[in-house]
Amino acid sequence: MRVRIFLGAAFVALLCVSAAQAANKRPNPPAQVCIGANCVATPEAGGKIKWNPGHYAAGNGWLTGGTSASNWYGSMDSALANYPLFQGFRLWITWGAIEKSKGVYDFSQVDAILNRLKTQYGTPRRLVLALYPSTPNKWSRNNGGIIPQYIMQNQEYGPGAIAGTYGWWGITSGGQSTGGYEPALWRPAVMDRFIALIQAIAAHYDNDPYFEALMFQEGIYHTLSVGSDYTHPVMLQQIQRLLTASVAAFPHTSVVYENSWGFGGATVNQNMELWMVQNRVAPGNADTVGETAFKLGRAPPVSWGIAAYMGMVNSSSSYSGGDLRGKSRAMVDIEADDLAGSYFKTSGGPYTPADICLAINTEYKASHAFWDKFMGKELVRGQPLPQSALWPNLAAALAKCPLTNTSYPPNYP
């Protein structure tokens, strides 16, 4: 479950031979990097895909259409300015924040974020851009900040949840929007436009060395509220189509998908995780629990998808793909519910950053960890943040817990 707390509104291909020869003459990196008594193997340097594993700060909210990159500067500055251990920043962004009208893309706000990451914090940091096409908020007719207006105004994208609108679905009552909504991505015409968005992002950022990864939000959000033409097999087909197109569009960049609970059952989701690894899609994870949850003597509260990655077969699943941790690298989110509140109370939560980091290294074996940055006064499910989740304390804990599964993924070219 994803909880959002709002904080405010072609150089690789053209390298010359002499440069390549010079690169080959660089001294080898040390075999280990140590922080006190904690040592990890140096990440492998070879490979076609940009690879900068480690801890990242993460935005607890998203950038929507009509809002400014500057709204995020305070969160970014306080997360990165005095904390060199963080490799960069994961930012959620909506479809409508980039595509202003059909085929017209505005990257100015993302460019501003990326430029700040490159220039503001002593050493350049990296951006992980995560697309968040849905919202927990009510739909409004003149709001194109989540889904572009042209989608919702054109009947070729299929009926909307409210008469006279198109291309979206959401929670309604009495002909009015009463809850979250999302684009109807199970429809090929809508997915065509979403893939066009991905291709435009790739054309703009794939060759930027500081654009680390493109990530897609938790898969369950694509099945929470759907129209009568929705089926799980059709949605699965369209998501696989999206991910195949994304990998093709980003030959130098990781593509990450949070495969959680959708698509009609544990077997389908767990087989989807295997398909992802076989097709160079990095397994993502929305809620990352602490080592405590794995030591309770019962199945830990992990989603079907990431469970398959860890070789855990759900009791209702016929998955037989085995443990995938030696074949790929997971990239995981650590979010509000993981660090605070009551959501994981029966499974030993909320978890301290040290407890979660231990699980990331020993259970998830993840290469990238995206830690939600709190300002300090937020409430999570009505409860204040524990002291361990406050950024100076969280950063101090992570400084003692470098990630250890950071070698270049075997399934990458």
Residue 233 makes CB contacts below 8 A (sequence gap 6+) with 264
DSSP string, 361-390: IIII-EEEEEEEPP-S--EETTEEPPGGGS
User: What pLDDT, on a 0 to 100 scale, did the predictor assign at position 169?
Assistant: 93
User: What pLDDT, on a 0 to 100 scale, did the predictor assign at position 139?
Assistant: 84
Alpha carbons 349 and 296: distance in angstroms, whole number: 12
Q: What number of CA atoms fall less than 13 Å from residue 199's CA on the CB side?
A: 13
Summarize pLDDT for 317-373 with one digit per residue, the tens.
999 999 999 999 999 999 999 999 999 999 999 999 999 999 999 999 999 999 999
Angle of helix 232-249 relative to helix 266-278, nearest 10 degrees, comes to 20
* C-beta of residue 271 within 8 angstroms of C-beta of residue 221: no
User: What pLDDT, on a 0 to 100 scale, did the predictor assign at position 17?
Assistant: 32
* C-beta of residue 205 within 8 angstroms of C-beta of residue 197: no
Indicate the fold that domain 45-145+181-399 takes in CATH: TIM Barrel (3.20.20)
Summarize pLDDT for 76-124 with one digit per residue, the tens.
999 999 999 999 999 999 999 999 999 999 999 999 999 999 999 999 9
> What is the H or E stretch that residue 260 is in?
none
Q: How many other β-carbons are positioned within 10 Å of the β-carbon of residue 303?
A: 24
Q: pTM for the whole thing?
A: 0.88
SS3 92: strand
Alpha carbons 14 and 257: distance in angstroms, whole number: 30
Residue 115 makes CB contacts below 8 A (sequence gap 6+) with none
Alpha carbons 324 and 277: distance in angstroms, whole number: 8
- Which residues of the chain are under the pLDDT cut of 70? 1-46, 220, 222-223
